[in-house]
Each structure stands twice: as structure tokens, then as C-alpha cells.
């Protein structure tokens, strides 16, 4: 399919990889780890060509190419690469772009794995960092240094659903010679395309919404040809290689991403609206609500608020656990973005954190995080309202 056609996302998830298919309507799984060449010249070409998917699986694989083509098109990027996990994606991204002496800005509220990457691994390699309030674009400007090279953004954030003004932060970064990479896992490119707002790179834990069925671990990074090639060369060293079968599963999940996100968006909003009216719910965190402090920003940079929300029940941890235990449809599990509704208590998941650390992170003992699935909204809302009964 020609790249200059103006198709909707629901069409691109089906056809964006047409050029990398071999005629199969349902693509085959290329499980081979190495590929034979017909001549010395062909072997040399495959061995030295960027993003080669016909040489060795660490360099690429036809299934990798197909997935990357779809995500790149959805994000409006020139190129994408896939990795074995979301942490493989952001770690490879950071190691590919940073060196000793560089400085990184990261949000105070971000995925714990990203925080550990910055605070532990990168710090060991001589990269300094500063954590800022993501809701205050001015905080990013004040924290910039001459040696700042990268700003890591997660919007919406997990589990508080705070937003970062991508356009404002990107302008600040570029004025200071830094790049912006956005974790778009929660929104997905159906709801938000950070490159359109000035960001340089996007990454995903494709384990979540992109895969969508809790059966594959994967990561993706998308951006310009030059930046992705730089990251790809680091990927050859890091070796966070996505299994070809998992790439095939991810592609299968992507085919329904547009449809699933429409249901996730609708269910997230329906549940949030029901919870905000409940007398035993003290707070609801969801950018799709007009009461959300950054609802205006959500309307500017998002097309939908996705299916993740958090709420606090009256009482304490025992009251939240009682609600979780009474849910019939929601599964108590980690992760998010599945066709199944998943609910958990963040404070219990991060039990190694101290009370002061949880308080500073605004994670209360009675907070419940919900990743709405694609069940019927009426059944889902009824399940939560029933669980909240005295």
C-alpha cells in the first residue's frame, strides 16, 4: 500500500505491512534464527545492511519488520524496531543515545522500571538525572542543564494518570539541544501520537495494549530513520531480541488495536463516571473526566483517554482489598492493557516502598488501579458497584 495514502488507523493496522508481506493474507512465522544467502555478495549485503531481516535474528526477522512497519505507520514515524520487552525498548533507547557526563530529565511519576533504569543503571555509567513534576512544564525548563541530552516522558502516567504537555516539553528540550522520548504505552497511537506534538521518539511496552491479550512480552521504539538506526546498532549489542513467534502474536494483536481501544476508551470513561458518583469512592483519577485537573490538555493531545484509571475507596487498605476480593469480572493481577479487566492495589505491588515514599508518590493504601478490558460496559460497571456495596 502506498505510504502517501491518508487512511485511518483502523485501516493501517491491517495494511501498513503490505510491502513487507510475501503474498500471505495471514503472514507465516519465520522461526529461523539465521538465513542463507545465494552468493558472497548477497551475504555481505545482508551482513552490513541496517535493519536486515534476512541475515541473523538479532539484526532482524521478517516478523519483526512487519510489526515495526505497522507501529511506525500508526505513530507517524519513519522507522521502528521491536525488542523483547518494554524495558528492553527504553534501555536500548537510553544506552543508544547517552554517554558518560550526559544529563537526563525524568518524571517523578513514572513506571518503576524506567525510574530504576535512570537511577541505577544509567547513574552507574556516569549519566546524571533530575526528577521533575510532569504536570509543570516550567519544571522541565528549570531543570535543564547544558549537558541535558534526553527527557523521558510518560503520559498519561501510571497509576495517577497525570499528563505531560508534550508540545511544551519538546520545545523546551529542543531549545536546549535535548531529545524527547515518550512512553506511549497507556494511550497507544490510537489515542495519542507524540511525534505530532514535537517528540523525537516513542516507545511502548507492547506487552500491554499493542499485544492486548496478556500472552506476549514485547517492546517497540519508533522515530526518525537516523535515531532508530543509532538505537538499532545498540540493539545489536544489548540483544533484547523479540522471539519471531512473539512478533507474530504482537502483529495479530495489532490488527484489532483500533477496535479494542474504542472499547477500552468507552469502558474506562463509563467506569470512571460511575465511580466518581459513588459515596464510598473519595477520588477518581482519569483524564477523560471533566473534573480531572488536566482534562483540557487531554482534549488537546489525546483522541481518547484509554482504559486505565485509579480510584480511592473510603477507609484504608483493608477496605480496598475487600472491594478487590468481591469483584467477579476483574482479575487481580499485574500489568494492564488486556482484553480482560485487571485490578490491583498499587501500594501492595510496591510493598518494598516505605510509607514516606508512597506518600511522596501520592500512592495511598486505599488506591485501586483498574485496567478496563473489553467486556460490556454495563456488566463491568455493575460488577464494581456491587463490590463497593457495604
The verdict on whether 73 is a catalytic residue reads no
Tell me the β-bridge partners of 281: 313
CB contact at 8 A, 121 and 240: no
Side by side, the strands of the sheet bearing 103-107 are 79-83, 219-223, 201-205, 179-183, 148-154, 103-107, 128-132
The active-site residue out of 111, 149, 345, 369 is 111
Cell of 142: 528549570
C-alpha span between 386 and 5 (Å, rounded):
48
By residue count, the chain amounts to 390
* Complete DSSP assignment for 282-334: EEEE-TTSTTSTTHHHHHHH-S---SEEEEEESS-HHHHHHHHHH-SSSEE-S
Cell of 15: 495494511
The verdict on whether 58 is a catalytic residue reads yes
- Taking CA atoms, 43 is separated from 49, 105, 234, 295, in Å, by 10, 42, 22, 54
The active-site residue out of 7, 21, 45, 58 is 58
Is residue 104 helix, strand or coil?
strand
Cell of 211: 499485544
Side by side, the strands of the sheet bearing 342-344 are 281-285, 308-313, 367-371, 342-344, 331-332
The verdict on whether 59 is a catalytic residue reads no
Tell me the β-bridge partners of 371: 308, 342
The verdict on whether 209 is a catalytic residue reads no
Locus of grid cell 544489548: 238
The active-site residue out of 73, 79, 149, 208 is 208
Among the residues of 107-256, which ranges form H helices?
112-116, 123-124, 137-143, 166-175, 188-191, 225-238, 244-254
C-alpha span between 300 and 56 (Å, rounded):
43
C-alpha span between 193 and 373 (Å, rounded):
22
Stretch (H or E) spanning 43: helix 40-48
The active-site residue out of 102, 183, 258, 383 is 183
CB contact at 8 A, 379 and 266: no
CB contact at 8 A, 85 and 136: no
List residues with catalytic annotation: 58, 111, 183, 208
Amino acid at each position: 500500500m502506498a505510504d502517501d495514502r491518508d487512511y485511518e488507523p483502523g485501516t493501517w493496522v491491517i495494511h501498513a505491512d503490505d510491502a513487507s508481506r510475501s503474498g500471505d493474507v495471514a503472514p507465516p512465522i519465520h522461526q529461523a534464527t539465521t538465513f542463507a544467502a545465494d552468493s558472497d555478495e548477497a551475504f555481505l549485503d545482508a551482513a552490513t545492511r541496517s535493519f536486515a531481516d534476512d541475515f541473523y535474528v538479532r539484526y532482524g526477522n521478517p516478523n519483526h519488520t512487519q510489526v515495526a512497519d505497522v507501529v511506525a505507520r500508526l505513530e507517524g514515524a519513519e522507522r521502528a524496531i521491536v525488542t523483547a520487552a518494554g524495558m528492553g525498548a527504553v534501555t536500548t533507547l537510553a544506552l543508544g543515545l547517552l554517554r558518560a557526563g550526559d544529563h537526563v530529565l525524568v518524571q517523578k511519576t513514572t513506571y518503576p522500571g524506567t525510574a530504576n533504569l535512570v537511577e541505577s543503571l544509567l547513574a552507574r555509567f556516569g549519566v546524571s538525572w533530575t526528577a521533575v513534576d510532569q504536570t509543570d512544564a516550567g519544571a522541565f525548563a528549570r531543570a535543564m542543564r547544558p549537558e541535558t541530552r534526553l527527557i523521558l516522558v510518560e503520559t498519561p502516567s501510571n497509576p495517577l494518570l497525570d499528563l505531560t504537555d508534550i508540545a511544551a516539553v519538546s520545545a523546551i528540550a529542543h531549545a536546549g539541544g535535548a531529545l524527547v522520548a515518550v512512553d506511549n504505552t497507556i494511550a497507544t497511537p490510537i489515542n495519542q501520537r507524540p511525534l505530532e506534538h514535537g517528540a523525537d521518539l516513542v516507545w511502548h511496552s507492547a506487552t500491554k495494549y499493542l499485544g492486548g491479550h496478556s500472552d506476549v512480552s514485547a517492546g517497540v521504539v519508533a522515530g526518525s530513520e537516523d535515531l532508530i538506526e543509532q538505537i538499532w546498532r545498540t540493539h545489536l549489542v544489548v540483544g533484547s531480541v523479540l522471539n519471531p513467534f512473539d512478533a507474530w502474536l504482537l502483529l495479530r494483536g495489532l490488527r484489532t488495536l483500533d477496535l479494542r481501544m474504542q472499547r477500552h476508551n468507552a469502558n474506562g470513561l463509563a467506569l470512571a463516571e460511575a465511580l466518581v458518583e459513588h459515596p464510598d469512592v473519595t477520588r477518581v483519577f482519569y483524564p477523560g473526566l471533566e473534573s480531572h485537573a488536566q482534562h483540557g490538555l487531554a482534549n488537546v493531545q489525546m483522541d481518547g483517554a484509554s482504559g486505565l484509571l485509579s480510584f480511592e475507596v473510603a477507609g484504608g487498605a483493608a477496605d480496598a482489598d475487600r472491594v478487590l476480593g468481591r469483584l467477579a469480572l476483574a482479575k487481580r493481577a499485574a500489568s494492564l492493557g488486556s482484553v480482560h479487566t485487571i485490578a490491583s492495589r498499587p501500594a501492595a505491588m510496591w510493598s518494598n516502598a516505605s510509607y514516606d515514599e508512597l506518600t511522596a508518590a501520592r500512592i495511598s493504601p486505599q488506591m485501586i488501579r483498574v485496567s478496563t478490558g473489553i467486556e460490556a460496559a454495563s456488566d463491568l460497571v455493575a460488577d464494581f458497584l456491587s463490590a463497593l456495596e457495604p
